[in-house]
Chain A
Amino acid sequence: MEATASQVIDLIRPFKGQTGATIPVLQAIQTNLGFLPPESFDLIEQEVGIPASKAFGVATFYAQFRMTPVGKHLIKVCDGTACHVKGSETIITAIRDHLKLGAEQDTTDDMHFTIEEVACIGCCSLAPVMMIGETTFANLSFEKTREILDDYSGKEA
């Protein structure tokens, strides 16, 4: 935990004194650590001067921010309108089944994968799509999705 705190402090110090910095501060932490560790909010108050309550309020308002650690591979599966009409539900089922995720569970027990449903990643004409890390996979089917996940199951981030 000590190590995390000093990491967070290093990340947020440059924002001291900036106006409108709440979102960039949170983004800086999450980009580097993958999530917002609980101690972040007190540290933001101490180091940047943004009240912890405000930072927490902002963090819980926006879809981007998460408070729990993510797996090695973050799967963003698109459920935008085009993907929805072209069967994203089947893709979501394929991923959840294949990774044996429970109803409320988003990260596999071995911390290898995290699934996140997103509203639209803007690749609508190639629907249905998902992203794993920075890579986008298009024109998915049930079978193709499973094959892609298998490719990733042995892979490091």
Chain B
Amino acid sequence: MADKTLIKVGYASCGIAAGAKDVRTLLEEKLAGTDTGAELRQTGCIGICFDEPIVEIHDDKGRWVYRKVNERKAERIFDEHIVGGKPVEGFLFHELSDGTRDPKYIMFKQQERIALANSGVIDPEDIDDYLAVDGYQALEKALKTMTPDEVLQEVMDSGLRGRGGAGFPAGLKWSFAKKSEGDKKYLVCNADEGDPGAFMDRNLLEGDPHNVLEGMALAAYVIGSDEGYVYARAEYPLAIKRLRIAIDQARERGYLGKNILGSDFSFDIKVKEGAGAFVCGEETALFASIEGERGMPRIRPPFPAESGLWGKPTNNNNVETYANVPWIIRRGAEAYKGFGTEKSTGTKVFSLAGKIERGGLVEVPMGIPLREIIFDIGGGIPRKREFKAVQLGGPSGGCVPASLLDTSVDYDSIVATGAIMGSGGMVVMDQNTCMVEVARYFLSFTQKESCGKCTFCRLGTLRMLEILDRITAGDGREEDIGELETLAEQIMGASLCGLGQTAPNPVLTTLKYFRHEYEAHIKDKQCPAGVCKPLITFHVEADACTGCTACKKACPTDCITGSKGVAHEIVLDDCIKCGSCREVCPTGAVYTR
């Protein structure tokens, strides 16, 4: 006798954005009206964001993953599969854009899931689901059979490095806070995922919040803290909601609060909502923000381990760092070191986005080449376009070119390219992305987000932005590249915190690998990628055009002539250079000059 049929709806921000709410409502209504005995559950993000909304069915025949489900599909899936017992073949994962289907989950073949193990599998709002997959076992093991020193040793031995970007060894960091004198110590979890283009922490918190809480409790046990804070972005309302539900449930079951599991160890966690400031990802600025101040970084030393939040010894780690800890305690440091490289052990979560066929959330063992993540897991670039670069590490990181696609994904190899591992945002760029404009985009971001404390960061980023603005407007000057390099060096040397010290990275890496694009803008007044509007006009190559009308339909200003079977032409006077026509053209006939 098979267990009852289980219907799982992916209900993280990505799924909801793609329309999971309507699908869920429809399925709930249908379930209520029929006597199938099936049960509907929500899960977090399974990582296949590009194919959301995802509906999974577990029945006596196995596990079936349906992709891009809308109400119409959901209706058929319900009637034919849940009621009729026959899966709807055509809707199953996974179909590639060239029409071929791969029923084996191609995206998962090269993945190893530690932090994401339960995301997309369990109901994040139900602690019993977490307990059923060995949840809070690590905490129980630690409190009942290990001293804080033994837990620390295990984390030290695992080689776990901070997943927020810099890669500082987590165990070593904990040992500093542990050694600090003081009766009151704080434990902080940095969930202020400010890098645009990154969503690892959002998904970890939306998909498996208890795992993060358990990791925090273990760290608190090591350093001797009784009070923790999760500082989360206000832009992530669902993550905050699920975190709060998880904290309440954990308290109710005695995994948080006084005398946890009957031990002498007491620890509780509060959630602080950020208010929108990128600089608060820097830990001393984050502490200032929790204290209710403007989020401005402080001079170090003293380091947070001695004087952090409210002047007390504090340990701060990123969400993903904590999310690895329960696994390490359950399975041991040796098992963890079985993944990754000698100096970068374990796995890393990346968010794949941009010009990529299969965008989503992936977790891979450290040390695999970038190429495998982008091409094998991510499926490469849509519409057979050419890969140009991948941006790693957000505004603090850099762009890695095609020639370095075989770079191993570990802290040291990535730093050697000029980028940084960062928190794990990977934004893929194709031939139609202008690298000068990308550098300008990041500088405009860091310039806006500079807290203003250090002059070089406050004004230097503005000067760099002005130069990049004029280069992309076609008014670049011969001396601009040299000036950018000088300013970059000065800003990096004269800024107090990571924001300023790394702000010039996007410019420096694009100058290093795509200098010719800067030169084309400045000397030839051309944008080779066809992005910078003052430098380009759009045209259709008549020979390559099949007259399919795709561009004509996409054009927001109706400035494309021609009809079915007749080559199209763009009326330049009315063209706003939005590039919509080029995006949709199936034959690549739209070009710029």
Contact = CB atoms under 8 A, between A and B. Distances in A.
B576 A64 contact: no
Interface in A46-87: 50, 57-58, 61-65, 79-87
Contacts of A82: 196-197, 353-354, 359, 427
A83 B353 CA distance: 9
Contacts of A93: 576, 578
Interface string B409-436: 0000000000000000101010001000
Interface stretch (B261-269, B289-297, B493-501): B289-297
B70 to A, nearest CB: 13
Interface string B508-523: 0000000000000000
B174 interface: no
Interface in B219-252: 234-237
A38 interface: no
A11 interface: no
Contacts of B438: 84-85
B17 A137 contact: yes
Nearest to B533: A89
Interface in B195-213: 195-199, 202
A148 interface: no
Given A62-B295, A123-B14, A125-B359, A141 B425 contact: no
Contacts of A134: 237
B323 to A, nearest CB: 16
A34 B403 CA distance: 50
Contacts of B429: 85
Interface stretch (B270-278, B341-349, B463-471, B539-547): B270-278
A120 B198 CA distance: 8
Nearest to B236: A122
A136 B578 contact: no
A86 B289 contact: no
A138 interface: yes
Given A26-B275, A64-B276, A125 B360 contact: yes
A122 B235 contact: yes
A114 interface: no
Most chain A beta-carbon neighbours within 10 Å: one of B234, B292, B438, B576: B292
B31 interface: no
Interface in A113-137: 118-127, 129, 134, 136-137
A93 B499 CA distance: 30
Given A123-B14, A124-B359, A81 B425 contact: yes
B580 interface: yes
A40 interface: no
A129 to B, nearest CB: 6
Contacts of A27: 234, 273, 275
Interface string B253-266: 00000000000000
Given A64-B275, A81-B441, A124-B359, A142 B294 contact: no
B354 A23 contact: no
B193 interface: yes
Contacts of A107: none
A122 B275 contact: no
A65 to B, nearest CB: 7
B13 A122 contact: yes
B579 interface: yes
Q: Which size bracket describes the interface of A in this complex?
A: 35 or more
A125 B360 CA distance: 6
Contact of A126 (B17, B272, B277): B17
B292 A22 contact: yes
B452 to A, nearest CB: 9
B352 interface: yes
B295 A90 contact: no
Given A80-B196, A136-B13, A125 B50 contact: yes
A86 B276 contact: no
Nearest to B576: A93
A123 B13 contact: yes
A62 B276 contact: yes
Contacts of B237: 134
A118 B235 contact: yes
A138 B18 contact: yes
Nearest to A146: B556
B194 A143 contact: no
Contacts of A21: 292
Given A123-B17, A123-B199, A58 B276 contact: no
A81 B275 contact: no
B390 to A, nearest CB: 11
B6 interface: no
A85 B428 CA distance: 9
A116 to B, nearest CB: 10
Contacts of A129: 17
Nearest to B202: A122
A119 B196 contact: yes
5 contacts: A19-B310, A23-B272, A63-B277, A82-B359, A85-B355
Interface of A: 19-24, 26-27, 50, 57-58, 61-65, 79-87, 89-90, 93-94, 118-127, 129, 134, 136-138, 141-143, 146
Interface of B: 13-14, 16-18, 49-50, 52, 193-199, 202, 234-237, 272-278, 289-295, 310, 351-355, 359-361, 391, 394, 425, 427, 429, 433, 438, 441-442, 445, 451, 553-554, 556, 576, 578-580, 583
5 A-B pairs with least C-beta separation: A125-B359, A81-B197, A63-B276, A80-B196, A124-B353
